Structure 1
Amino acid sequence: MTDRTDLNSGSLTYEGVRFPFGEGTPFALTDFKRGTAGIRANDAARPGRDGTALGVSYKDGPKHELSIAVIGRGDTRTEQEADTRALLQDLAGVWSADTLRSRSGGLAALTIGTLTAYGHPREFAPDDSALWSGLAEPTLTFQAVDDLWYGPEQVSRVHLITGSTGGLPIPADVPFVLDGGDGVSDHVVTVDGSAPAWPVFNVRGPIQDPFIEVVGVGRLNFRGQLAYDQTLTVDTRPWARWILRDGNPFPGALSPSGARLSDMSLNPGQHRVFFGGYDPTNTAVLEVRIQAAYRSL
């Protein structure tokens, strides 16, 4: 179980940047308010009578709010004020996230304690009323993509076993006959948290036409070949939903004969994962990366 009690420290992380705040830094986290997810509802008034016809509704991502006290150091007030001004410049630059905002698809990670929300830093509202004494306390906001908090990443590895199943039960719809290069292996993964989690799968070659099946959830069938030094990344998370080969888009890799990425959410509990494909070298590996999802800090 993730320890979620340390809420006086955190960090903001995005490509090329990791900015810690809280205990042990000159940026003290003095207040944190979790945002509320807005609701987009397709409700309608009942014509000619009382009541409301309730339709399908969707949640927006909440906006979280932080207050950070910036505490300058120095032997005199002048030195303290100068240090605070320099620290404010650093904080404002990090929160502006210019490189992140300039392109689509990138996300920042806001960590409070040990749990993380994904999204973008937004407003930076200064409060310089005590700047002359070496103190400033800006209020910052963070727009999250959803209303969940995610735990540390857990990684499981499944090594492909070729030529023999080793007594493992093979799913009935495996579309090939095992020979010297075909193989299938399985592994049980445990999903913690209080909400469904979305896995990220990494397949390291060499392998041809791999498949990944989570029993009772869905099976992803892929078409194509990976060399020994290539990796297929399958990101099922709602803000990603992409398939990459060595970091580049790999169109047509997912066969329509299987599940879609949007089918692959994993409820808390244990799940058996099968990994198969053609690999005569016996070296292909599947990594299953999961962050437990929580509905509250």
Structure 2
Amino acid sequence: MSGQWALRFPGEDPVEFSDDSGVFLRDDPELQQYDITDQDVNTDGVDGTQFGVDTHGGATYAIDFGIVGSSPDDARDREGELKRLWRGDSIRSTPDAVAELISPRGRSSFGRPRRIATSGRRYFEYPPAADVGAEWRAADALWYGEQQSADVGLVPEVTGGLMAPLEEPLTIGAGPSTESTTFTVDTDAATWLSIRVRGAILNPIVSILGPGFRLVFAFAIDLAYDDEILLTTVPWDRGAVRKNSGGVVPLGSGSSRFDSAALPSGTYELVLTGTSPAGTPRAFVGWRDAHPVP
């Protein structure tokens, strides 16, 4: 990024907020509300609280924009453009669609623009200016760094010919193979992963293993050489689909839950298992280091 705050909608270039653009943030977004649901229980007739499971939900940030124009009309137009942008017309009618608020350090919050209102106008002073307050509703309270990835390929085993004496029945064919690689995640908070499997491969299984950590995603599928499985685990976009058809790919028996697929900081092993007599199938794991501040 350019070292400026920016807002990016899916498939569009980011819009930067800077002194040069005439629309800028007066300070970092301020966390206003952070949703936490708990299962705490107070037992009748007994002192104290029994804690249950806490789940963290969305977060609301307050943003103070400053607007400066070269003329009163220019300031008005820049205020109008900010309010048009903040409508989020390209995503607000699409369930699960999110925009990306990007900090000067390149860390992103995923969510949607919400409220916006002008708190003061000084169009006929010099320079013509205005103050606008807005809200950003984030899917969670974390800020995510640049996309990172690791990958591993599956090389089919090559075996020799037949040896006498032969006994019936004869079975000829390749069995499942396994390959692995290691990768390191350096994150402040556990971060969601994505997985991509490229064919050709039969019944691929992707495992991610670490100290006290095990994730497995199995797919009962014959994946063609020009097709891929795309699996995402972020709360705002969870599921597995085929690239060519867009159809949903069900998880096979023994697969992990999506909501367990958050990687703490550490070193992991990425393992791909499957059958591939020919071709070069490959598995990719992707993640963004997560941080509590932008």
Equivalent in 171, 187, 193 of residue 193 of structure 1: 187
Q: 1:136 to 1:39 in 2, by over 3 A?
A: same
Equivalent residue, structure 1, for 2:205: 211
In 1, Cα distance between equivalents of 2:201 and 2:11: 32
TM-score norm. by structure 2 comes to 0.83
In 1, Cα distance between equivalents of 2:175 and 2:156: 6
Structure whose CA Rg is larger: 2
Equivalent in 33, 38, 51 of residue 35 of structure 2: 38
1:124 lines up with 2:116 in the alignment: yes
1:258 lines up with 2:255 in the alignment: yes
* Alpha carbons 1:205, 1:228 under 8 Å: kept: yes
1:72 lines up with 2:69 in the alignment: yes
1:254-275 per-position Cα deviation (integer Å, ceiling 9, x unaligned) = 1022322233221101111001
Q: Spell out the pairing of 1:86-97 with structure 2 (5 A cutoff).
A: 86-97=77-88
Matching residue's letter, 1:22: S
Decide which moves more: 14-23 or 92-101.
14-23
Equivalent residue, structure 1, for 2:89: 98
Identity across the alignment (%): 25
Q: CA deviation at 1:104?
A: 0.6
Can you give the 5+ residue segments of structure 1 that lack an aligned partner in the other structure?
74-79, 166-178
* Alpha carbons 2:198, 2:229 under 8 Å: kept: yes
Q: 1:180 to 1:242 in 2, by over 3 A?
A: same
Decide which moves more: 229-238 or 38-47.
38-47
3-state SS in 1 of match to 2:121: coil
In 2, Cα distance between equivalents of 1:243 and 1:129: 49
Matching residue's letter, 2:91: L
Q: CA deviation at 1:51?
A: 4.3
Matching residue's letter, 1:28: F
* Alpha carbons 2:151, 2:270 under 8 Å: kept: no
Q: 1:59 to 1:258 in 2, by over 3 A?
A: closer
Equivalent residue, structure 2, for 1:291: 288
Q: Spell out the pairing of 1:153-232 with structure 2 (5 A cutoff).
A: 153-163=147-157, 180=174, 182-215=176-209, 216-232=213-229
1:277 lines up with 2:269 in the alignment: no
1:249 lines up with 2:247 in the alignment: yes
Equivalent in 116, 135, 144 of residue 150 of structure 1: 144
Q: 1:283 to 1:181 in 2, by over 3 A?
A: farther
1:238 lines up with 2:235 in the alignment: yes
For the aligned residue pairs, the C-alpha RMSD in angstroms reads: 2.5
* Alpha carbons 2:203, 2:221 under 8 Å: kept: yes
Q: 1:164 to 1:237 in 2, by over 3 A?
A: farther
Q: 1:233 to 1:135 in 2, by over 3 A?
A: same
Equivalent in 4, 7, 22 of residue 9 of structure 1: 4
Q: CA deviation at 1:131?
A: 2.5
* Alpha carbons 2:123, 2:130 under 8 Å: kept: yes
1:259-295 per-position Cα deviation (integer Å, ceiling 9, x unaligned) = 2223322110111100122222332122211101112
In 2, Cα distance between equivalents of 1:181 and 1:48: 63
3-state SS in 1 of match to 2:278: coil
Decide which moves more: 15-24 or 267-276.
15-24
Equivalent residue, structure 1, for 2:16: 20
Q: 1:211 to 1:296 in 2, by over 3 A?
A: same
* Alpha carbons 2:41, 2:50 under 8 Å: kept: yes
Equivalent residue, structure 2, for 1:107: 98
1:29 lines up with 2:17 in the alignment: no
Equivalent residue, structure 2, for 1:175: none
Can you give the 5+ residue segments of structure 2 that lack an aligned partner in the other structure?
160-172
Q: 1:135 to 1:54 in 2, by over 3 A?
A: same
